[in-house]
Amino acid sequence: MKKNNVFELPTMSTALSLLGMAGQVEQLKNENRKISEQAARTILKALDAKDSYTYGHSMRVAYFSLVTGTEAQLSAEEMYELELSAIFHDIGKIGTPDAVLNKPSRLSEEEFLIMKQHPEKSWEILQDYQGFEKIASNARFHHERFDGKGYPLGLKGDEIPTAARIILIADTFDAMTSTRPYRKGLPYEVAFDELIQFSGTQFDPQLVKMFISGMKKEALKGEEEFFIPIMAKKFTKNAA
Ligand SMILES: [Fe+2]
């Protein structure tokens, strides 16, 4: 009996103090997240002030990415990282001259080269923020293609982080379906066909399937708005 007590008491107190520590770590993590999310919202407000189209685009890309991530059964941690990566993927466009960013006609070769720098700029902006290393690299690689013909590094297949492969699909889909002053957006079904057509070359074929099936489930809900948790805000689905 005595022997048991000797062993039981420290074991119980150790367990309790470990639990207490785990609680503190969790609390710190939550506080860090709150600060990061506040910083995220502030930076995104700056993007909205500079270029409201890219701001809205980033929110829709986050929504489309989360739909795909849900279909891919990503963990809660992976979904959180995907959401942050998607809302920040084009943050480097803050550094793109307005004349290039908002040009209604086709970009010249030189302008296209300037435009192509934005993933690297996103990465430069994000990489030094502690805890944002993966988010920075997901933003950097969101124009890499599945067949290795993308930029900036020409990574291919699994070399490209899953989040970056998802964001490319979401990004392209939004670019095709959103209405701009100079052209009308494509209907969803036409854009789905385009994604299928470029599966295996531009896009990860498995993720295209997941995106489309997720989007079809979303359509059945008949909602006009979507919610982005980190922004603590609802946005309209209509990309006009
Ligand atoms: Fe981009």
Q: What is the mean pLDDT of residues 206-222?
A: 97
Tell me: pLDDT of 239 over 50: yes
Q: Who contacts 80 (Cβ-Cβ below 8 Å, separation ≥6)? A: none
Neighbours of ion ligand 1 (CB under 5 A): 90
Predicted pLDDT of residue 1: 45
pLDDT, tens only, 144-167: 999 999 999 999 999 999 999 999
- What's the CA-to-centroid distance between 116 and ligand 1, angstroms? 8
Distance CA 30, CA 10 (A): 30
User: Ligand 1 center to residue 219 CA distance, Å?
Assistant: 25
Residue 31's pLDDT is: 86
- Considering the chain, what percentage of its residues have pLDDT values greater than 70? 95
The span from the CA of 153 to the CA of 146, in Å, is 12
Q: How far apart are CA 126 and CA 135, in angstroms?
A: 7
Least confident of 17-21, 70-74, 144-148, 201-205: 17-21
Cα of 142 vs centre of ligand 1, distance in Å, is 7
Between the CA of 103 and the centroid of ligand 1 the distance, in Å, is: 15
Nearest to 87 by CA among 135, 46, 49: 135
Ligand 1 centre distance from Cα of residue 143 (Å): 6
Residue count of the chain: 240
Residue 119 pLDDT greater than 70, yes or no: yes
**Domains of the chain, start order:** 43-236 (1.10.3210.10)
